[in-house]
A and B are shown apart, each in its own frame.
Chain A
Amino acid sequence: EVQLVESGGGLVQPGGSLRLSCAASGFTFSSCAMTWVRQAPGKGLEWVSTISDNGINTYYADSVKGRFTISRDNSKNTLYLQMNSLGVEDTAIYYCARTAGGSGYLPVDYWGQGTLVTVSS
Chain B
Amino acid sequence: DIVMTQSPDSLAVSLGERATINCKSSQSVLYSSNNKNYLAWYQQKPGQPPRLLIYWASTRESGVPDRFSGSGSGTDFTLTISSLQAEDVAVYYCQQYYSLPFIFGPGTKVDIK
With A44-B104, A45-B93, A47-B101 as known contacts, state yes or no: A107 contacts B40, CB within 8 Å: yes
Q: Per DSSP, are chain B's interface residues mostly helix, strand or loop, or mixed? A: loop
B77 on the A face (CB < 8 A)? no
Interface size of A as a range: 20 to 34
Bound-complex Cα distance A112 to B102 (A): 18
Total number of A-B contacts with CB less than 8 angstroms?
58
Q: Nearest Cβ in chain B — how far from A49, in angstroms?
A: 9
Bound-complex Cα distance A47 to B50 (A): 13
With A45-B93, A62-B101 as known contacts, state yes or no: A111 contacts B51, CB within 8 Å: yes
A47 x B106 contact (CB < 8 A): no
Which residue of A has the minimal Cβ distance to B1?
Answer: A62
A11 on the B face (CB < 8 A)? no
Bound-complex Cα distance A111 to B38 (A): 19
B100 x A59 contact (CB < 8 A): yes
A100 on the B face (CB < 8 A)? yes
The listed residue (B50, B97, B104) touching A111 by CB distance below 8 A is B50
B100 x A45 contact (CB < 8 A): no
